[in-house]
Amino acid sequence: MTRIGIIKRDDMNAEQGRVYDAAQAAGGPLGGPYWAYIRNPKLFAAAQEMGAVLRDGPLSGRERQIAVLTVVRHWGAKYPWAVQVRGSLAAGVDQATIDAINERRAPPLTDPREKAAHDVARELLADHKLSDATYAAAEKAYGVEALVSLVAAIGQFSMVCCSANAFDITPPDDVPARLAP
């Protein structure tokens, strides 16, 4: 069960309410780790802004979601997995790819950018660096500017997962997507 109390909108102070309302109006995420971030309104707002920048960046929805699922699987973050599977399906990531990532298998990716998204996330998290071969393949697929966005998305979503795990932010019992043991 979630360790941190969830602050209802009516119980938020003025600054919390202001950033919460702005995020809600923009369609930004409000639950999960954001239940913790709202306690620091500047962090909440910065996390919202970083997420928006990365969503509007040079990665396709599929590329971003493949990287995000790989990050979530690495951290074993239950709430983000449940939410991101829905987002991944909406972005067109097929169930076979989702299942492979969940089972810690190489997903059946043929697009070089999608494969690089998975490989960079997996290797960076597992080895804390990229091999020359993985970097070269990713740079060839993305170019430097888009590769910077990919690495930033991996880092940003690692923060989300660390927060979800630290505060034991767990999904409701009725979510259809669960992490494999």
Give pLDDT, residue 179. 84
Assign 3-state DSSP to the chain and report helix, strand, coil percentages, each to 5: 65, 0, 35
Contacts of residue 52, defined as CB under 8 A and 6 or more positions apart, other chains included, come to 26, 28
CA atoms of 57 and 117, how far apart (whole Å): 14
Nearest to 140 by CA among 175, 177, 168, 112: 112
3-state secondary structure of 156: helix
With 0-12 / 13-18 / 19 or more C-beta atoms within 10 angstroms meaning exposed / middle / buried, residue 5 is: exposed
Percent of the chain with pLDDT over 90: 86
Q: Which comes out higher in pLDDT, residue 169 or 134?
A: 134
Both structure tokens of 166:
């630290």
Half-sphere exposure of residue 170, counting CA atoms within 13 Å on the CB side?
Answer: 8
Contacts of residue 86, defined as CB under 8 A and 6 or more positions apart, other chains included, come to 177
Q: pLDDT of 51-109, one tens digit each?
A: 999 999 999 999 999 999 999 999 999 999 998 998 999 999 999 999 999 999 999 99
Backbone torsion region of residue 16, taken as left when φ is above 0, otherwise alpha when ψ lies between -120 and 50, otherwise beta: alpha
CA atoms of 71 and 118, how far apart (whole Å): 9
- Average pLDDT value over all residues in the chain: 94
Query: Beta-carbon neighbour count of residue 156 at 10 Å?
Result: 16
Q: pLDDT of 8-55, one tens digit each?
A: 999 999 999 999 999 999 999 998 899 999 999 999 999 999 999 999
Nearest to 37 by CA among 156, 174, 179: 156
Domains of the chain: 9-55 (no CATH), 61-166 (1.20.1290.10)
Tell me how far apart the 2 most distant CA atoms of the chain are, in Å.
Answer: 52
Give pLDDT, residue 181. 80
Instruction: Say which range, 113-117, 157-161, 177-181, has the weakest mean pLDDT.
Output: 177-181
